[in-house]
Amino acid sequence: MSEKKSLYLKYRPFQLKDVVGQKYTIETLKQASLKNEFNHAYLFSGNHGCGKTSTARILATLMTCENVVDGNVCGKCRACKGIHIGSSLDVNELDGATNRGIDDIKHLIEGAKWSPNELKRKVYLIDECHQLSKEATSALLKIVEEPPSYLTFILCTTEIKKILPTILSRCQRFNFTKICSQDITKRLVLIAQKEGINIEEGGLAIISKIARGSMRDAISYLEQVATVAANKKITTEGINKYFGVSDRAAILNILKAILDGNIPLIMDLINDMIMASADTKEILVEISEAFRNAMLLKASGGDSRLVDLPDHEVSELKKISEKLTMGQILKLAKLFSDIEKKIGFNINERWIMEATLINCVAALRK
């Protein structure tokens, strides 16, 4: 019996066109494929779960596939099959977090001296390359600078600031952005349909939001709730309770109550959310993000492209932003700026949250 794959592995993109949310990177790599002009070293940076390693594997396949057509690999040749299951002798993956020492890199360099065994190129993919030791990075630099004609390096990192400038200068760099929640939701809808997961689309939208730009996290969350639900219908309310997140309508109502100075209503709404299993810190995060989005809408003259939210929420936040001056919003930002530190050292998180929201009302009245 074959082992069941996790959904994020099962639905990992195999073609460039399947990578979500990285339009310009994908278009550039496709053009390189069409011209058959590949660089000797690439650096993919960005948030975890946004497609760096998957794209690196696709790029390695594009370089070695025997039948590439219009930027698409064939999926049938030995390169496609070998890279997909991780058995190719010429496409090697190294985890910089666990193979970070000088000896690991010396072994890599020794292997790189030999021409490809079966494919037309040899590719080394180094994940989390910022975790390589200084000695290992120094040893790697020489071959990245002057590799053999058959060799390509693809480096991936979540912390580009830790990469040596000498490495950066020798790589073609691509920044992978966080994936917007609407694009994640579309992907989750497709996966849920294919897997027969009975879940409300509103619930998928919540999962997309709490994934905070990570497709891998979103798919893992979907699989998690599907397992717990055991074939029962998964509701939006159930998702809120399971992850301890706040009801979106309640968050907007809290913002309106703050603007109206209605402290009793604020306390009632907070109590209702906590009784419904919402997490105190998550409530504060949602409120602060809502005020930030209101600030963005005000500063941009209502440009909704800056706000990753459904249209009806954008409309509500526009109305809220119109009632606030920029000075008032900046006062609120100052109040929220050190709240995490206060909560971290206080035994009563709820009290600090309630006091902060009352302070918000007071700040708007000054």
Return the SS3 of 152.
strand
Whole-number pLDDT of residue 263: 94
- Residues 211 and 355 occupy one common structural domain: no
| Residue written as token pair 């779960």 | 49
Last residue of some domain: 203, 221, 243?
A: 243
201, 143: one domain = no
| Residue 23: CATH number of its domain | 3.40.50.300
Residue 346's pLDDT is 65
**Per-residue pLDDT at 341 exceeds 80:** no
In this structure, what token pair is assigned to residue 228? 């717990």
Q: Is 317 domain-assigned?
A: yes
Specify if 273 maps to a domain: yes
- With respect to residue 208, please indicate whether it lies within any of the assigned structural domains: yes
Per-residue pLDDT tens digits for 36-92: 899 999 999 999 999 999 999 999 999 999 889 998 999 889 889 888 888 888 888
Structural domain includes residue 152? yes
Residue type present at position 189:
V
What CATH number corresponds to the domain at position 261? 1.20.272.10
Whether residue 165 sits in one domain with residue 30: yes
Digit-coded pLDDT (tens) for 274-315:
887 778 888 888 899 899 999 999 888 877 777 877 777 888
Q: Is 1 part of a structural domain of the chain?
A: no
Report the domain count for the chain.
3
Helix %, strand %, coil % of the chain (to 5):
60, 10, 30
Check whether residue 171 and residue 219 sit in a common domain: no
Instruction: Give a yes or no: residue 111 inside a domain.
Output: yes
Name the domain boundary from 243, 263, 284: 243
Burial of residue 148 (number of CB atoms within 10 Å: 0-12, 13-18, 19+): middle
Tokens of 342: 């206060």
| 41 and 157 within one domain | yes
Predicted TM-score (pTM) of the model is 0.78
Last residue of a domain, one of 190, 217, 243: 243
Whether residue 200 is contained in a domain is answered as yes
Instruction: State whether 297 and 220 are in the same domain.
Output: no
Do residues 170 and 266 share a domain?
no
Asked if the structure places residue 2 within a domain, the reply is no
Residue 238: which CATH number? 1.10.8.60
Residues 331 and 259 in one domain: yes
Residues 18 and 120 in one domain: yes
Could you report the per-residue pLDDT of 187-244, keeping only the tens digit for each? 999 999 999 999 988 889 889 988 888 999 999 999 998 888 777 788 888 888 788 7
Q: Do 86 and 157 share a structural domain?
A: yes
42 closest CA partner among 125, 105, 159:
125
Indicate whether 17 pLDDT > 80.
yes
Q: Which residue has the tokens 């998702």?
A: 239
The pLDDT value recorded for residue 344 is 64
Q: Are residues 58 and 132 in the same domain?
A: yes
Q: Are residues 197 and 60 in the same domain?
A: no
Q: Range of 162's domain?
A: 7-176
Beta-carbon count within 10 A of 303 CB: 11
Could you give phi then psi for residue 106, rounded to 5 degrees? Answer: -60, -40
Q: Are 13 and 19 in contact (CB under 8 A)?
A: yes
